[in-house]
Amino acid sequence: MFDFAWVIRNLPHIWELLQEHVLLSFIPILIGLALALPIGVLCVRWAWTYPIVLLCSSAFFAIPSLALFVFMLPYTGLGRMTAILPLSLYTVALLIRNVVDGIKATDESVRQAASAMGYGRVHRLVAVELPNAVPVILGGLRVATVANIGMVSVVSVIGLSSLGDLFVDGTQRFFATPIFVGIALTVVLALIADLFLVGIQRGLTPWSQNRRTR
């Protein structure tokens, strides 16, 4: 049975775990996005590098997260960087394809029109190609965010705090309440993050909403 009294007694601890989970989930997203954008732009600029980068990123993403966390322990210890670095690299691996596909999705006639208006390569990238790529990039970012929120739970196995502590505690004591709480908070956090990114996408691409209402 679900023990509400246990939840009330442990609210401060649950709140601390939730805060740590949010921190470990979203810092890698920001770092990964900051790295994936320039790498994706370079892959578009020098097309011969894209297959190599894509192969490396796909191979890296196939490595189990727990193995990477354990690998990091001798170098970073039981600190946040043990989780942040691997999760940042996972985010980069997920986003590179979206960045490249988003930039390439810009119609060639639009590029030519921008060039005819005097836009240089960098100006055209910032003012035309990246804004057009926003829906594709944010689509990948939504997937990466939900994936990170799920993977952060694994760090509890190596001694880092997250909502995964509730899963470990409940499993060790054969007590279902913390497991239910951990699952519920993880799902709610993923839903809130996804809705937040949808809102950002709508704010950055108002023209796409105008097309739907016509």
DSSP code string of 9-78: HTHHHHHHHHHHHHHHHHHHHHHHHHHHHHHHHHHHHSGGGHHHHHHHHHHHHTS-HHHHHHHHHHHH-S
CB neighbours of residue 99 within 10 Å:
26
What pLDDT is attached to residue 211? 53
Specify the residue for token string 């193995």: 67
In angstroms, rounded to a whole number, what is the distance separating the alpha carbons of residues 57 and 59?
Answer: 5
What pLDDT is attached to residue 207? 60
User: Which residue ranges of the chain lie beneath pLDDT 50?
Assistant: none
What pLDDT is attached to residue 143? 92
What pLDDT is attached to residue 18? 94
What pLDDT is attached to residue 52? 92
Sequence-ordered list of residues with C-beta below 8 angstroms from that of 99, at least 6 positions apart, any chain = 36, 37, 39, 40, 41, 43, 133, 136, 137, 140
Q: What is the tens place of the pLDDT at every residue in 22-64?
A: 999 999 999 999 999 999 999 988 989 999 998 988 888 888 8
18 and 165 in contact (C-beta within 8 Å)?
A: no
Domain map (residue ranges) of the chain: 4-206
What pLDDT is attached to residue 205? 72
150 and 193 in contact (C-beta within 8 Å)?
A: no
What pLDDT is attached to residue 142? 92
Give the CA angle between residues 26, 30, 31 to the nearest 5°: 115
The model carries a pTM of 0.86
What pLDDT is attached to residue 210? 54
Alpha carbon 60 to its chain's center: 15
For the chain, helix, strand, coil in percent to 5 are 85, 0, 15
Q: Which CATH superfamily is 4-206 part of? A: MetI-like (1.10.3720.10)
